[in-house]
Amino acid sequence: MNKTYRQLTIKYAFLQSTFWIGQCIIYSFAAVYLQYKNFNNTQIGIVLSLSSILSIIMQPAVSAFADKSKKKTVRNIILSIILIVIALAVILNIWSNSFILIASIYVLINALQITLIPLLNSIALEFMNNGYPFNFGLARGTGSVAFAVTSFFLGHAISRFSAAIVLPLFLISNVLFFLAAYIYRIKGFKMEQKDSVAIDSNGTSAISSKSSSSDSTSEQPASILGFFIKYKRFTLLLIGVAMVFYSHSLINTYLINIIENVGGDSADMGLSLTIAAGLELPMMAAFTIIVRKVKCGKLIRLSGFFFLLKALAIWIAPNVMAIHFSQALQMLSFALFTPASVYYVNSIINEEDRNKGQAMLGVATVGVAGTIANISGGKLLDISGVSNMLMLGTIVAFIGFIVIFFSTDKSK
């Protein structure tokens, strides 16, 4: 098992790293690239919002297919999506002068990228719930380091050359991502071979037979509407999560505008992203230890508070250095929330609905939050400036924290 543990951790780290390199390139530098293609802030907001809206449709649909399908594994679904993304990136790299074409393909690529996020969580849980545990936090944290390194070097590369390098680099990263997904398997592994291992919110594993599981795995997966009815408290939590991620999305999407507002440039933006993403690794790597001592519900509430604190700190930051310091709060906000939410969903959602549960997290954090943030943020920037945009984000994050505080399941 030790050999398998190391093998899975390394393979999953490679999978997460290649994905987040691509996500950094295509999404975090979206404003930089689209400004290079003569998009204004409102148009950038519309493009990224349409991506989020489309992902709201895609994520539940794909997850429902994954829950119901007996023949298509999550891994095969991921491989298929990557091939589509590569094809779209090739088209955009060849024909990149049409405004409509750039906008349309950028929407599709980003929607598919967002749809992959919950699938990457699910593909980890497939092994963990079937008796093949590995260090999820460490592997996910490696993805954050890859994101950080990419942010640093890409910010300087764009400053030295131009944003024209974005698409070729994204294409290369996705070829590596396809390779990582292809090798993410164990020889002879089948989902039915092992008893289910339910990983609870304290990080422990309880082996139980699939035929007698308290999750009632013989039940049919819930429909999209049925899911919200079945898990009412979790639905309320999703609303709070979407609100704190509204401020998070504003900061990430329009970071170049925030940095330039205090006198910085794309290189400063790259360093700021590097600080935020680089500090995710220590928290994620230590998560398997932390979760044994603190319940996931408490960790999610704590992360919500630090999302609020980060939004406030960046709003009042007077210079680039202050923004860099504010980004350090990523360690206790996003870096804590990401593994805690994955474990939390795995502990409170029945087995037949877990892919859907992970997808709903993606819908809340990137889909709903991203859509509203991108539309309102771009418009606010063009009308009233950076400070008012960040003020709104802070107010929404405060309300979201209150909702999260009262909607997490304290008994789990």
Residues comprising the chain, all counted: 412
Q: What residues make up the domain containing 302?
A: 2-186+219-407
pLDDT in tens, 302-347: 999 999 999 999 999 999 999 999 999 999 999 999 999 988 988 8
Q: Give the pTM.
A: 0.76
CA angle at 247 for the pair 244 and 249, rounded to the nearest 5°: 105
Helix, strand and coil percent figures for the chain, each rounded to 5: 80, 0, 20
In-domain check, residue 210: no
Note whether 204 and 197 are within 8 A (CB).
no
Q: Which amino acid is at 284?
A: M
Q: 120-129, 145-154, 218-227, 348-357: lowest mean pLDDT where?
A: 218-227
- Which DSSP state fits 26? I
CATH number at residue 52: 1.20.1250.20
Look at residue 203 and tell me if it is in a domain: no
Residue 234 lies in a domain: yes
Is the residue at 205 inside a domain?
no
- Confidence band of 187 (pLDDT split at 50, 70, 90): low
Cα separation of 152 and 156, whole Å? 7
30 within a domain of the structure (yes/no): yes
The total number of structural domains that make up the chain: 1
Q: How far is CA 293 from CA 197, 204, 302, in A?
A: 20, 10, 14
pLDDT tens for 59-91 read 888 877 877 765 567 889 999 999 999 999 999
Write down the pLDDT at residue 242.
96
> Domain for residue 198, yes or no?
no
Q: Is 212 among the domain residues?
A: no
Domain assignment present for 197: no
**Sign of the alpha-carbon dihedral angle for 348, 252, 47, 20:** negative
Q: Which of 139, 157, 349 is nearest to 234 (CA)?
A: 349
Q: CA–CA separation, 400 vs 251, rounded Å?
A: 16
Query: Phi and psi of 70, rounded to 5°?
Result: -100, -20
